[in-house]
Amino acid sequence: MAQLHTWAGLLPGWLLFLIVLFGTAIFFRQEINQWMRPELRAAPISNRALDAAGAYPMVAPSYTEQRSTLAKTIGLGHKPETKASVARPSPEAVKPAKAAHIRRARKKAAETPQPE
């Protein structure tokens, strides 16, 4: 019984050790790759590359103004109509129609013969 208890503790212990070991290796994968293969390190970004990024239209200084004028010409940025301006029937006009519908349904149910 003692050996069963020993192996029941050792096997899950070693399994957890391997899980933690591989999890740590995955977490530090980039650092391990740089340590093992230093020739693959990325070159630092040059000033020329940073200057070329300014020519990209989405980061150009006038980009936001162009987008703003485009949105205004399309009609974006305006407040939607208020509920008061939408034409709706008054509750008094709706009640008689609803009552008539209910009366017709009740009359139809009364006329239908009930199965015995």
Instruction: Look at residue 41 in the predicted model and tell me its pLDDT.
Output: 74
**pLDDT of res. 20:** 95
List, in order, residues 6 or more apart from 32 with CB less than 8 Å away.
Answer: 25
pLDDT at site 77? 72
b/e for 21-58, b at 16 or more Cβ within 10 A? eeeeeeeeeeeeeeeeeeeeeeeeeeeeeeeeeeeeee
Mean pLDDT over 74-92 rounds to 67
